[in-house]
Amino acid sequence: MQYAIIDFGSNTIRLSIYEVNKDKPSDFVQILNKKTMAGLAGYLDDEGNLNDDGINKAIEILESYKKKIKNFNVVSSHIFATAIMRKAKNQKAICKQIKNATGFEMDILSGAKEAQLGFYGAMNTIDIKKGAQIDIGGASTELVVFDGTDILFATSLTLGSLSLYLDNVTGLIPTPAEMDRIRKQVRAELETIPEIQNLTFNAISGVGGSVRAAGKIRDDWFKGSVGSKTFKVSMEEIDDIFDCAIYDPHHAMRKILQVVPDRVHTALPGIVCARTIADFFDAKSISISKYGVREGYLLVKVLDAVNI
């Protein structure tokens, strides 16, 4: 059986189609992964409404996805939205326009629910038994503290790789001073969350494109080894990436364009965010999973294959 999941994000809109074993729903394979850079956070006006250009761009992308879905034997299609729709003051009007134009009924996830689904999507692919998990999106960062398969705490930070870039960076590659401003902004928000103060973990886990970008850049620049589903990036390796960006920004930009060209402006702000959160927990490395919120949504909301 095939299922289509559309992740409607602040920076990207992504279509994933999964082949699911009907006798064992947790056994699935991704057979299509299509990502489109939308940058919808840049279409929010001064009143917090997503403007017509942003809505039309989203509809155009979703219509193209609808055509792709027709080429598969999809049982059902589902679309969920994250920070961009939580922020948009005109979310009801957006949902209505999207449904009228495409037929898709949007499910707007709370920050805590997004964090939980990201954990359940990745929990079978990470090698950390107790710790924290982060998912750095375009305009929000989801954070979960877990022990085994139990979520102890889940929340959403009001910052992400795109918003950090827009708030702090003037060029494509952040300067040392701009990186420092990003660190201070992330740290300041972490310090407002009483539930996570004084927690320490040897490692944290990460899901989502921003965290995976750190692994891809590390792997390309320093020729690290990548596992089939997860791999780790150390704080020292992240610092080497920062050193390259600081001392040879033109080389760094060329390399980022080669490895993660669609994240040329958001990759480093996202990595600075990840490094800052790891520092907050005194973690020495980040274990990265290729699975996350989309797989969690499939397992929990669509297949009802995970009890929460």
What is the C-alpha to C-alpha distance for residues 296 and 298, in angstroms, rounded to an integer? 5
What's the pTM?
A: 0.89
The type of residue at 285 is S
Query: Strand 12-21's sheet: what is its strand order?
Result: 24-37, 12-21, 2-8, 74-81, 106-108
What is the C-alpha to C-alpha distance for residues 301 and 297, in angstroms, rounded to an integer? 5
Q: Say which residue the tokens 């942003």 belong to.
A: 54
Whether the pLDDT of residue 284 is over 60: the answer is: yes
Whether the pLDDT of residue 224 is over 60: the answer is: no
Q: In CATH terms, is domain 2-108 a member of 3.50.50.60?
A: no
| 227 — pLDDT class (breaks 50, 70, 90) | very low
Whether the pLDDT of residue 180 is over 90: the answer is: yes
Nearest to 263 by CA among 253, 249, 272, 273: 253
What is the C-alpha to C-alpha distance for residues 276 and 79, in angstroms, rounded to an integer? 31
| 225 — pLDDT class (breaks 50, 70, 90) | very low
Q: Where are the beta strands (DSSP E) in 177-277?
A: 203-207, 230-234
All structural domains of the chain with their residue ranges:
2-108, 112-289
Nearest to 271 by CA among 247, 248, 237: 237
Which neighbouring-strand residues pair with 117? Answer: none
Third-level CATH fold of 112-289? Nucleotidyltransferase; domain 5 (3.30.420)
Which neighbouring-strand residues pair with 205? Answer: 133, 287
pLDDT for residue 67: 97
What is the C-alpha to C-alpha distance for residues 44 and 50, in angstroms, rounded to an integer? 4
Q: Do domains 2-108 and 112-289 have the same CATH topology?
A: yes
| 126 — pLDDT class (breaks 50, 70, 90) | confident
Alpha carbon distance, N-terminus to C-terminus of the chain: 23
Annotate 107-168 with DSSP letters as a single string: EE--HHHHHHHHHHHHGGG---SEEEEEEE-SS-EEEEEEETTEEEEEEEES--HHHHHHHH
Per-residue model confidence as pLDDT tens digits over 92-115: 999 999 999 999 999 999 999 999
Q: What is the mean pLDDT of the chain?
A: 93
Q: If phi over 0 gives left and psi between -120 and 50 gives alpha, with beta otherwise, what is residue 263?
A: alpha
What is the C-alpha to C-alpha distance for residues 234 and 236, in angstroms, rounded to an integer? 5
Whether the pLDDT of residue 7 is over 80: the answer is: yes
H-assigned helices in 6-106: 52-69, 83-87, 91-102
Contacts of 244 (CB under 8 A, 6+ apart): 221, 251, 252, 255
Torsion of CA 109, 111, 115, 118, to 10 degrees: 30
What is the C-alpha to C-alpha distance for residues 225 and 215, in angstroms, rounded to an integer? 10
Of 224 and 184, the structure prediction assigns the larger pLDDT to 184
Whether the pLDDT of residue 308 is over 70: the answer is: no
Per-residue model confidence as pLDDT tens digits over 131-176: 999 999 999 999 999 999 999 999 999 999 999 999 999 999 999 9
